[in-house]
Amino acid sequence: MSDFEVVDANLRSPDDSYVVACWKCEQKFDAASARWCNTDTKLRTLECPHCRSCFCQAPFPYRRAFWNGAPKSLRENPSRFRIVAGDVVANTAVEGPALDSTPQHQPHILIVDDEEPIRSLAACYVEQLGYKVTTVETPDEALVITNAIAFDAVLTDALMPKMDGRELCRRLKDAHGDQFKVILMTSLYTARHFRTEARHLFKVDEYLAKPLRYDELRDALQNVAPLPHRSGDHNVAVAG
The CATH number for 158's domain is 3.40.50.2300
Residue 130 and residue 57 share a domain:
no
Please give the backbone phi and psi of residue 225, each rounded to the nearest 5 degrees, phi first. -145, 75
- Same domain for 223 and 131, yes or no, is yes
Q: What is the pLDDT of residue 91?
A: 37
Task: Tell me, yes or no, whether 28 lies in a domain.
Answer: yes
Kindly state whether residue 142 falls inside one of the protein's structural domains. Answer: yes
Residue 60 lies in a domain: yes
Structural domains of the chain, count: 2
For position 133, what pLDDT does the model report?
Answer: 96
pLDDT value of residue 103: 59
Domain membership of residue 76 (yes or no) is: no
| Residues 230, 120 within the same domain | yes
Q: Give a yes or no: residue 81 inside a domain.
A: no
What pLDDT sits at residue 179?
83
Q: Cβ(21)–Cβ(28) under 8 Å?
A: yes
Walking along the chain (240 residues) 10 residues at a time, the average pLDDT comes out as 51 70 94 89 88 92 91 89 46 39 78 93 91 96 95 94 90 89 82 66 82 87 84 49
Residues 47 and 113 in one domain: no
Q: Are residues 146 and 233 in the same domain?
A: yes
CB 204 within 8 A of CB 240: no
Full domain range(s) for residue 161: 87-96+103-238
Q: Are residues 57 and 91 in the same domain?
A: no
Same domain, 120 and 172: yes
Judge whether 170 lies within some domain. yes
For residues 67 and 91, state if they share a domain: no
- Residue 40 domain-assigned? yes
> Which of 185, 164, 183, 168 has the alpha carbon at shortest distance from 225?
183
Q: Are residues 126 and 67 in the same domain?
A: no
- Residue 47 within a domain: yes
* Statement to judge: residues 150 and 232 lie in one domain: yes
Does 189 lie in the same domain as 149?
yes
Same domain, 162 and 223: yes
pLDDT at 153: 96
Tally DSSP H helices, then E strands, for the chain.
8, 11
Query: Looking at the whole model, is its pTM more than 0.85?
Result: no
Residues 232, 92 contacting (CB under 8 angstroms): yes
Interatomic CA distance for residues 163 and 70, integer angstroms: 26
Contacts of 77 (CB under 8 A, 6+ apart): 124
